[in-house]
Structure 1
Amino acid sequence: MQLNKALADHDTPELVVVLAELLQKKGWMLATAESCTGGLIGAACTELAGSSAWFERGFITYSNEAKSELLGVDAGVIAAHGAVSEPVARAMATGAIEHSPPSRVALAVTGVAGPTGGTPEKPVGTVWFGWSVDGEVRTERRRFDGDRATVRAATVHHSLQALVELLLAH
């Protein structure tokens, strides 16, 4: 819990520095698969000079078709569970690894940033995360309050914070 609190106190650029150090220490590359953030995670990562040493590529898969075409997410899984779901986040993270051969680490996000698009089951602010670290995939659902920009910023921060925690534990 101490580590989680310490990481929560870091802003996003500081998390990226820590992430970069961890990935470079392991010699691993990162791929991202983003829907609701539209490339903000990749942008945060590549804001750091030298990121080409650890950031391999980013997939912006905003539409369901893009999730299927670029990441190999089964259209039937999307139809059955919706784009904002655990199976889709898991498939996005797995697909990012499969479609980025040098990458050993991936993070994926799919959510409802708002202000429209929410449902009673998946209200605005609902985000599913997927992380693949050296073959192990983890997922998590979170709900963030606020406007579109706040939800997207919180999604970027949480995705990076949780990835740093997973790498530290690995």
Structure 2
Amino acid sequence: MPDNELRTLAEQVLEHLCRTGRRLITVESCTGGLISATLSDIPGSSDVLEGGFVTYSNALKMSAVGVPEAILAQYGAVSIQTAEAMANGVLLNARDADVAISVTGIAGPGGGSALKPVGTVCFGLAVRTAPTTSMQCHFTGDRAAIRAQSVHHALQMVLRA
């Protein structure tokens, strides 16, 4: 995915958030902060970007954003249940944010399984005024491609919120 396409999408997201008077917070695992970095590369992003968390480990998912240990034990770190809990948990503690996007997945090249192959990525979107939505996607390519597709998908979710 060309960088300019991602930048254009990020600009659209920032404009949308500004127009709707909302602030965004991110909580990322497999993207390692790329959603926040993509948005913060654009001047003026601080008007709507509250901040972001990178929660690679299960321990940090629990302590920083409140993912219940039971969800991780039952469904695993890469699940729509965990993605929902990440988005809901971060939004509970970010008083000035209205929207939270979360991403957790397997970017590869290792770490996949028959049930959750490399490229499996789960997203959660929490909005204070609406029910939380989540979805699972399967992306292809190398690690960089999977992460780029994940950022693109997350930004699309925020834009539709």
Structure 2 residue aligned with 1:81: 75
The one-letter amino acid paired with 1:30 is L
How much has 1:12 moved relative to structure 2?
A: 1.1
Is residue 152 of structure 1 aligned with residue 147 of structure 2? yes
Letter in 2 for 1:148: R
How big is the shift at 1:86? 1.1
Displacement of 1:55 in angstroms is 0.0
Which residue does 1:48 correspond to in 2? 42
Amino acid at match of 1:87: Q
Question: Counterpart in 1 of 2:119?
Answer: 125
Q: Which runs of 4+ in 1 moved over 4 A?
A: none
What percentage of residue pairs aligned between the two structures are identical? 44
Name the amino acid aligned to 1:14.
Answer: T
Conserved? CA contact 1:73–1:92, under 8 Å? yes
Aligned residues: 157
C-alpha contact 1:11 1:157 (8 A) present in aligned 2: no
Could you give the per-residue CA deviations for residues 44-75 of structure 1, whole angstroms, max 9, x where no partner exists? 01001011100001010000001001100001
After superposition, the C-alpha distances for 1:103-124 in whole angstroms (9 at most, x for unaligned) are 0001000000000000100000
Show the counterpart of 1:61: 55
TM-score (norm: length of structure 1): 0.90
- Structure 1: 5+ residue runs without aligned partners? 1-9
Instruction: Say whether 1:161 aligns with 2:160.
Output: no
Look up the match of 2:97: 103
- Aligned residue in 1 for 2:110: 116
Deviation at 1:133, TM superposition (A): 2.1
Show the counterpart of 1:5: none
Root-mean-square deviation (CA, aligned residues, Å) is 1.0
Q: Give 1:89 deviation, angstroms.
A: 0.3
SS at match of 1:97: helix
**How big is the shift at 1:96?**
1.6
Residue matched to 1:4: none
TM-score, normalised to structure 2, is 0.94
